[in-house]
Amino acid sequence: MFRTRLLSGILLIVIALAVLITGGPLLFGVLLLISLIGMSELYKVFGIAKKAPGIVGYIFAVLYYAILYFEPQLPGEKVTWFMMFFMGYLICQMAVLVFSYPKYNTQQIFAAFFGVLYVAVMLSYIYQTRLLEGGVFTVWLVFICSWGCDTCAYCVGMLIGKHKMAPVLSPKKSVEGGIGGILGAALIGVLYALAINHWGNTGVAIVQYAVIGAVGGAISQIGDLAASAIKRYHNIKDYGKLIPGHGGILDRFDSVIFTAPIIYYLAVLL
* 21-54 pLDDT tens trace: 899 999 999 999 999 999 999 999 999 999 999 9
State how far the Cα of 161 lies from the Cα of 178, in Å rounded to an integer. 9
The 3-state DSSP class for residue 266 equals: helix
User: CB 107: neighbour CB atoms within 10 A?
Assistant: 11
The 3-state DSSP class for residue 102 equals: coil
Write out pLDDT tens, residues 230-240.
998 999 888 98
Predicted TM-score (pTM) of the model is 0.92
Nearest C-alpha neighbor of 28 from the set 60, 57, 55, 62: 62
What is the model's pLDDT at position 203?
A: 79
